[in-house]
Structure 1
């Protein structure tokens, strides 16, 4: 593999430097670097970050290839600056056995646009009645360490306790979709003023917060790790902050759309805004941003949830829940966190690369941009502003809430172990 010289990049938003890649690793970082025969990429002050890591992606394969495949999903990931994604287990068949997680893992290795780490189901068939093959999935070639029934909540306290006890033996983590099902029957959107005015079934904040409160206490009792998926309310923030103050081993994620969008958008009855958990209030959005800035919320995760056109282009009540997010995540974080002064680019690298890699134990990812480290890198033109055009997405699905919206920033290059997967905004 030839050498690559990235000239004049602002590493983590700092002063311009040169970065030399040799094969799969960074050889040197400094000023005035040169290398005979190297391919030169003129960064011109663009920001260079460690490759992004998404702890919460739906790739849909096997079973829903009409929505997404491992190939199209990883192409979307590379377009968004990601070098590793964690694939959720709610496929058909469910990823609740070593065989299914190995299938997803091998598909990721074959396509090569980013590393794919499967997430194993907590319970068989996501049904909440019997623990899945947690140990077998961990010991498989996929080496699963994160387990989740995402899309459904592990609402049985005894089952959740058993899962936490089981994964503790090998340092795994249970990622909980916090939704008390009895409190959300028939729910269509956030419970509040807007739902009352629109006559749509309300999804109360307490349905999320009560599960989080229970699970952090269970994690403390067991001495195990719990991760909270797509945290969305101000009350949830306070519970996680309290748990961390007690030394409970809890981490939490927020999605880009919950950092930007509110339930006021549902007034349009456009199903593109229908998502699980639902869009919340302006107060919640403010609390989520502050919590991500101060570290109460550990990471940004996309919850990339692709759906075919017919599943979203219908009446609100019948529409599927979810939004695509891999190709717009960094732009939304730039708008909501960087341009508001809540995070600098080093903070973005922490929340979108190093910390998710640490939580999921994604070896080789989230490492510093320094000599001897794997060349998993993302180059971002932070000065760019443009309208989102879903027609240009690499994802198979187009259900984005940002169509036609102007967002800042554009990923121009992505390197996976020194191999370019995206060059000048185009997939290789």
Structure 2
């Protein structure tokens, strides 16, 4: 007798990067157990018709700021993860620039406690900086899944790691196969130019872009990927914004560097034409750039130079985003809830296929963070992380309806076509019929236990800091300098 399952979703179209098939999906507990013709589905305690709808693997957002602990007026784990659930996002990776920063085991434990209210599964990026180098392995043991290096300054004003610390951090993480996210802008350029603009009394929105030219991204990416190539470290370039630095990504990928790269909807769809109208609402790091950057970033997604879509969900209160001086407007805005309808709208316009979108939103991040097979796919044995999407549904994005505490968005009033109607996380509805399932708070859990990164490929280990502190064979560690011996 065939065993009864918990749920069968019938009559849908299941999307992978390679094909879209008409199929039904059976779910037992937290996992998919069958994908196939409706007649082959086992008996189920519950059924859902999905005729005309698409089943996408739940989106994986590699870059969110849930501000918890430290800034509950901006966001909490509960409100940020609720926004994720509403947006068809089932897994997020959260950034370390909270208060305290996630650079110690104690700070990590505070964050993990806050995350107990999460509606989605999560990874935690620990802080890679000069003060945390000796904590990296302890942080991994305590639950960190990956690291973040703020080479460019952003909210929280964490000091950029010195090049020496960045190199040593890569030396520690390369043999472990752990990936480090990098905010790749040159802080020295940014600080100096911002000071000159402030001294000149420039407080307009365009001054922010003037302070952070594309060359700051070009230089930082080149430096970071040079260190990654030397050490064999895995890196991930966050929020790639400029057309001008794409050539570096192509070259380092050609040379075999294990680098993955994200861009965000704001860099694909917004530009300075919008910033002239919205001002500080659009202040974000790196900045949203001139119109000439939009299409090359789309092209780079299509050809694989850019691997994935993330959001850099970075909420602030409306008052913090609308001050007179651009320098006093906090950087960032909410995005985890609006990403999917924005991108599905572009699919409907013919700029990409649904298969492309699944590759960018789910498959590529699952591979980058060692989750593919368990997440990033709708197949037997995988977690039942599913966004049920209506590609025909139309609407208008409204900042007042966001689950995020941050009720201010550059997407406010934007017409979209294509919405997630239901979101399942490990077989449980966390959003259903367009409404948050409030008793699912806390269903989310860390992905640390299922993360399986490929074998590490460290390089030049004889030159690592850990190697050079050892005396060469045959030379006593306490040997005196020649001058002292004479």
| 8 A contact 1:2–1:38 mirrored in 2 | yes
1:267 pairs with 2:276 = yes
1:334 aligns with 2:344: yes
Aligned equivalent of 1:62, options 63, 69, 72: 69
What aligned pairs does 1:5-404 form with structure 2 within 5 A after superposition?
Answer: 5-12=8-15, 14-33=20-39, 34-108=41-115, 110-123=116-129, 128=130, 131=133, 133-140=135-142, 142-149=143-150, 151=154, 154=160, 156-185=162-191, 187=194, 200=207, 202=210, 203-268=212-277, 270-317=279-326, 318-336=328-346, 338-362=347-371, 365-404=374-413
Q: Is the 8 A contact 1:145 1:361 kept in 2?
A: no
- Partner SS state of residue 119, structure 1: strand
Per-residue CA deviation, residues 207-259 of structure 1 (Å, 9 max, x unaligned), is 11100011111111111111111010011211101111111111111011111
- Asked whether the 8 Å contact 1:155–1:211 carries over to 2, the reply is no
Name the SS for the 1:227 alignment partner.
strand
1:153 Cα deviation from its structure 2 partner: 7.4
- TM-score of the superposed pair, with normalisation by structure 2: 0.80
Flag the 1:8–1:308 CA change in 2: closer, same or farther, 3 A.
same
Per-residue CA deviations over 1:52-90 (Å, capped at 9, x if unaligned) read: 111100000000011100111111111111111111000
Q: How many correspondences in the alignment?
A: 416
1:409 and 2:418 are equivalent in the alignment: yes
- 1:64 & 1:227 partners in 2: Cα distance? 26
Partners of 2:360 and 2:25 in 1: CA distance: 22
Q: Is the 8 A contact 2:74 2:315 kept in 1?
A: yes
Deviates more, 1:306-315 or 1:87-96: 306-315
What RMSD in Å do the two structures reach over aligned CA positions? Answer: 2.4
Which sections of structure 1, spanning at least 5 residues, go unmatched? 189-194
Shift of 1:401: 0.7
Q: After the TM superposition, which of the residue ranges 368-377 and 224-233 deviates more from structure 2?
A: 368-377
TM-score (norm 1): 0.91
